[in-house]
Amino acid sequence: MFIDTHCHIDMSKEIDVNQYIQNAYLANVKGLIFSFCNQDCYRAGIKFLEKYSDVFVSLGFHPEDADIITDKDLECLDEVLVSSSRIVAIGEIGLDYYWRKDNKEKQRDLFQKQLDLAVKYQMPVVIHCRDAIQELYDILSQYKGKVKGVIHCFSGSYEMALRFIELGFVLGIGGVLTFKNSKLYQVVEKIPLSSIVLETDSPYLTPEPHRGETNESKYIPLIAAKIAQIKCIDVSEVAQTTTDNARRVFDLPI
């Protein structure tokens, strides 16, 4: 079986969630972690867990919302995080200097407050990072040994990958790996399979040959097949090891 460690449902209104989950199961993707990371995440995530029993969620505040997240929001997140064993991570959180460079301090502050929550509750984090990889590394270094998790949609160099692995993180690899112009294969080729988890980031980043369509967790095997091809190993090994990695990082009871 496969695990999709990172997908979104709240952003794509035309999706029928039951159908989405069933499609994933039919494709042998039997573990799903849905990411809720806007201002209403704690409400949306809890409602989602009440409605769907066989899924997991991560909750957190995305750096794009750094201007609007209040201390009250962070208090609500704090209260809700341990309310269900199916809330398995804090995320996606991090730094995004691609869209906004004018509020770096607010982004850093929001990020660090959520890293502190991860330490408090011993929860893994799911990291979003765009155009800020060195600064991200510097912040995470301060939490070495205290916080683990996933560098979601990893897009850095091999050297950077090794440094994050050394900090105790694994890399989230998704549809980008299948894109013709992607250089990500150079990283995937060299890092150990024990440091990779699979993710779709659906409804975005749909893998080839479905690029341009809405992404779904059912496409996880396409990403696994690409990893198998790059590493010259059997896809069953990719399934087994990445599933074990996801279980380990998120402490999943499946």
Structure tokens at 125: 């984090």
Q: Which residue has the tokens 């069953």?
A: 236
Phi, psi of 185 (to 5 degrees): -60, -30
- The whole-angstrom separation of Cα 125 and Cα 89 is 5
Beta-bridge mates of residue 42: none
CA distances from 94 to 41, 60, 77, 91, 190 (A): 16, 10, 16, 8, 25
Structure tokens at 3: 């695990």
Shortest distance (Å) from residue 35 CB to Zn ion:
5
Shortest distance (Å) from residue 37 CB to Zn ion:
7
Q: Which of residues 40-69 bind Zn ion (CB under 5 A)?
A: none
Shortest distance (Å) from residue 8 CB to Zn ion:
6
CA distances from 1 to 4, 237, 246 (A): 10, 11, 12
Closest CB to Zn ion among residues 33, 140: 33
| Region near Zn ion per CB under 5 A, out of 80-88, 200-208, 209-217, 224-232 | 200-208
The radius of gyration of the chain's CA atoms, rounded to the nearest angstrom, is 17
Closest CB to Zn ion among residues 38, 240: 38
Shortest distance (Å) from residue 246 CB to Zn ion:
15
Phi, psi of 95 (to 5 degrees): -130, 135
Closest CB to Zn ion among residues 96, 201: 201
Shortest distance (Å) from residue 127 CB to Zn ion:
10
Q: Which residue is nearest to Zn ion (CB)?
A: 201
Shortest distance (Å) from residue 126 CB to Zn ion:
8
Beta-bridge mates of residue 146: none
Closest CB to Zn ion among residues 13, 72: 13
- The whole-angstrom separation of Cα 58 and Cα 65 is 16
Size of the site for Zn ion (CB under 5 A): 1
Does residue 4 interact with Zn ion by CB under 5 A?
A: no
Does residue 201 interact with Zn ion by CB under 5 A?
A: yes
Here's the x/- map for Zn ion, 146-185, by CB under 5 A: it reads as ----------------------------------------
Does residue 96 interact with Zn ion by CB under 5 A?
A: no
Contact (Cβ atoms closer than 8 angstroms) between residue 218 and residue 25? no
Binding site for Zn ion (CB under 5 A): 201
